Structures are given as C-alpha cells and as structure tokens.
Structure 1
Amino acid sequence: MLAVEGLLAGYGGSRVLHGIGFTVGAGEVVTLLGRNGMGKTTTVRAVMGLLRPDAGRIAIDGADVTGLPPHRIAQRGIGLVPEGRQVFPTLTVEENLLATAANRGPGAPRWTLPGVLALFPRLAERRRNLGARLSGGEQQMVAIARALMTNPRLLVLDEATEGLAPLIRAEIWSVLAALRAEGQAILLIDKNIAALQRLADRHVVIEKGQVVWTGSSAALAASPGVRDTWLHV
C-alpha cells in the first residue's frame, strides 16, 4: 500500500531524514519508533505532502506521489491524525467530523457520523460541544474520528496518546485494536512501547533520520539492546 524509499528531507539548510525507507501493507499496523527529534514527525509530514522531500520516493499502490500536495495525498486514501490534534475550535464535535466526510472506496462508506459516534460514545454525548470546550483526550478522539470520516485506506497517527490521562489512553488503544481487527492499515507513532508491541505487526526504529532496526513485535520483545540503545526504555 505505502512504500517509502530513500527519503531525504529537512527544513531550510538542515537535513533531518537521511534515506528513510519502509513499507506498510494492506491491513498492517506499522510503528515508527525513536527518541524525540530523530525524524518520525518529519517522515509523516513528508508522506502526507506537508513537506517536500529533497530526494527519494513515496508510492501509494505503486503510484509515485512524491511531492504531491496534501489534499492529493488524502484523496489517495491516507487519513492523518496530526500531532497536537488540530481540531477546529469554533466548530462543534459534529461539525468537526462532517467537515472531512468523504468516501475513498467503492460502495457505501464504512465510516459515517453514526459509526464514529458509536466508536467514541464520549463524543456522542458531546456532539454539540465546541472543539475549544473539549478536554485534550476528547480532542484526540475527535482527531481520530475526523480522520476515519475520510474513510482512509491507511490511517496515520502522530503521537496517538501523548499527554493523555490513563483512562483515555486505554480507550484509544482499544479503538485502535478494534480498527486493526477490521483490517484497517495503520502507521503509528507513540512512546508506549508495551501498547505498541501488543498492537503492531512491525516496528521501524529511526535514529538521526535513518532506519536502524525493523522487525516484529516478538523480535522487539526479544531484543533488549534495541530498546536500550535507541529507545531508552
């Protein structure tokens, strides 16, 4: 589904990514792991068309999309849950969700307003509340539900549960597990290694803008050196 090859990117004269490469297959859950500042968010920004790479290739279903604008990437079936949530503060929960509604696949859309509100009952209770009046956890639920309303083939989450209360984190992990069980492909950044190991098929570890390790959850659990050297957990 998604293939990233030899990605070079940065900001101004500062190079951040030095040849990043990885894939996400249909129905796979893949994580990008690494310490802060190692290039995870920059990778996501490049994939989503928010940052134009200096070199390399980004392909969706084999078609080169390198350098396309964000709306064109979204139209290919990629939905983003951005770092910092970025909900519309002056729109209600319902308006936030309807603002991105689209059908990226054949037939009736999988995700509609009733569907995402059933997935997040807390949002159903607050559907008339303005985005600015929501807690951080509720805003993150809106951000995930909003991305699902685009009916993406690949869901990308940058810092899925950072800064959230434990009960909210648990609810979001439960939702992501349910999505995985339905065959939703997911590319995920988060710091909760234990939760990621339970959820993901593969992990890609990034250090200073390069992939230094990749493997399954079982391989990561059996490799304390990976965690100690590159993840500090």
Structure 2
Amino acid sequence: MSMLLQVEGLEASYGAAQVLFGMSFEVETGRVVTLMGRNGMGKTTTIRTVLGMIAPGAGRVVFDGVEMTGAPSYRIAQAGIGLVPEGRQVFPTLSVEENLIATSANRFAADPGWSLARVYDFFPRLRERRTNMGNELSGGEQQMLAIGRALMTNPKLLILDEATEGLAPLVRAEIWACLERLKGEGQSILVVDKNVDALEKLADAHVIVEKGQVAWTGSSAELAGDPTIRDRYLSV
C-alpha cells in the first residue's frame, strides 16, 4: 500500500504553551487509523496542525507525496483531505441540501464520486430532512450531515474529530456502521474517538497520544491483547 499521510516530528504551540512534542505517525491508502488518548493530550491540536489551522513550530506534513507543511488550510483541503470537525459545525441557516452542495467537488474524478443521490442513499434520514435548516436537526442528524458534507468533497483522506461524541447509543452504532461501510469501499480514514471497543473493531492501526507525543502505536490485535495499554493511557 502507498503512504497517504506522513506526519514527522510535528511540534505546535498555542502562544508560549507548547502542546505537540514531535508527533509522528502515518496513514496508508485504504487504511483506518485512530488517534486515541485522554482529553487534553493533543489529538485535536494534531489534526488542526495537519490541516494548516495551526502553524507548526517544527516537523513535516506530507500528503499524497506532496509537502504540505505550513500550507494554508484551503490548499490542504483541495489536496484531498475532508474534515468532520469536533462539534459538527454544520451551517445552521443553510438547508441540509445546501450544506451538502456548499463545498462539493470532485477534483480527482473519483468514480463513483460522491453526489447528493449517493449521500442520501448512504444516509436516508438526510433525504427526509433535506429542506430543513442545519439548526433544526438532532445531534445525530447533524453528524450525518457533517460526514456527508465531507464526503461531497470526494476526499482521499477523511478525518473525523470526536466521531460520536455526545450522541445516543443507537446513533453511535449507526455512525460506526457508516464508517465500516466506508472502509469496505477503500476510503482512507483518520478518526478520533473515545469508544475504544468500536475503534478496535474498525481500525487497522492505532496511535495513542500522551502529552503531545506518540506513546504507543500498534494494531487492533496488539491493543486487544495487552489490557495494560488501556489502563496506562486511556482509562479516566
């Protein structure tokens, strides 16, 4: 498999407060990789730095063979990264359909590409609610919309920050089933979430973050086979 995302020695700060201390990990094409760790360990900061929202103090970000370190966010998005942000952040005064088409693009001639019809087939509830405003949706519907909006950019890499945070159990199960389907279609995914059991079933590889550094990395089998890893890095 080819290497899609390479993060090497990434450092980042908020003002004088350094948060990332040499973050390094990789995402291969067609694979699902997680970023896990307790709150405040640097997972979201890592994503924001990869996406150009925070200027790195050191390190490199290479996406699909192209150096992206310090590039503006719009260029990184145009290169083929789709984000489902923490808190969903749908456009509240646009309809479901307007949210989906607002940033739609198929820059790489994906076949089949993501279209309104395909997103509605993937999330039938969005078809039912297509004329509703973003602020009229439930949390689960907003998360489906945020995923659909990212898919409408036809991303090479889909990044989800807190994929199921604050959602009801049945809705969480629907989101995990959605991600499993995307994986089956060969979609490359980087996902942040706290549901270790679901991530173990879904992902090919895991990166555990502790105080802005990679504390452990390995496969689902390795994670499941060593319960001390959860106790050490993931238990509250």
The TM-score bracket by the shorter chain reads over 0.9
Q: Answer yes or no: is the 8 Å Cα contact 1:87–1:131 preserved in 2.
A: yes
List aligned pairs for 1:1-233, cutoff 5 A. Answer: 1-106=4-109, 108=111, 110-232=113-235
TM-score (norm 1): 0.98
The worse-fitting range, judged by mean Cα deviation, of 169-178 and 98-107 is 98-107
Q: 1:105 deviation in Å?
A: 1.4
Q: 1:106 deviation in Å?
A: 2.8
Q: 2 CA distance for matches of 1:82 and 1:40?
A: 12
Q: 1 CA distance for matches of 2:53 and 2:139?
A: 24
Identical positions, percent: 65
Q: 2 CA distance for matches of 1:148 and 1:109?
A: 12
Q: How many aligned positions are there?
A: 233
Partner AA of 1:39 in structure 2: G
Q: 1 CA distance for matches of 2:194 and 2:205?
A: 15
SS at match of 1:104: coil
Q: Answer yes or no: is the 8 Å Cα contact 1:104–1:152 preserved in 2.
A: no
Partner AA of 1:119 in structure 2: F
Q: 1:100 deviation in Å?
A: 1.2
Unaligned runs of 5+ in 1: none
Partner AA of 1:135 in structure 2: S
Q: 1 CA distance for matches of 2:139 and 2:156?
A: 26
Partner AA of 2:79 in structure 1: R
Unaligned runs of 5+ in 2: none
Q: 1 CA distance for matches of 2:186 and 2:111?
A: 17
Moved over 6 A (4+): none
Q: 1 CA distance for matches of 2:229 and 2:147?
A: 30
Partner AA of 2:93 in structure 1: T
Cα RMSD (Å) = 0.9
For the structure 1 residues 107 and 85, does the alpha-carbon distance in structure 2 shift closer, same or farther, using more than 3 Å as the test?
A: closer
The worse-fitting range, judged by mean Cα deviation, of 108-117 and 119-128 is 108-117
Q: 1:91 deviation in Å?
A: 0.2
TM-score (norm 2): 0.97
Q: 1:177 deviation in Å?
A: 0.2
Partner AA of 2:8 in structure 1: E
Partner AA of 2:228 in structure 1: G
